[in-house]
Amino acid sequence: MRIKSYVVYMLPCSDGSFYVGATTDLGLRIGWHNEALDPFCYTYGRLPVQLVWSETFSDWNEALTRERQVKGWSRSKKMALVEGDWDEIQRLARLRNQGRKAESPR
């Protein structure tokens, strides 16, 4: 019996932005992005796209949680993720948390 897997993935777009999504068939999904079949898809006018990062999960809810997390990250943090630079990801997270503490009323 084959266990279903769920993949969260990131694609850089031609306008410099990143697309983050989740799927059960990564190859098929990236093909759909590059075929530009859906004019309402984020990547439609931002082609070509190519895979730069992915993470596989056995649970769909975990994949969706990770997708939402990465979608909320800054461009710098997404670039650090692509590069596998965990020190930079942690540094950027600390900076963001420090900024929130500085903005919160005391």
Contact call for residues 55 and 7 (beta carbons, < 8 A): yes
Displacement of CA 29 from its chain's centroid (Å): 14
Separation CA 29–CA 21 (nearest Å): 9
Residues 41, 33 contacting (CB under 8 angstroms): yes
Domain boundaries, the chain: 1-72, 73-106
101 vs 106: CA distance, rounded Å: 9
pLDDT tens, per residue, the chain with 106 residues: 667 999 999 999 999 999 999 999 999 999 999 999 899 999 999 999 999 999 999 999 999 999 999 999 999 999 999 999 999 999 998 887 787 665 545 4
| Rounded CA separation 67/69 (Å) | 5
What CATH code is assigned to 1-72? 3.40.1440.10
**pTM for the full model?**
0.86
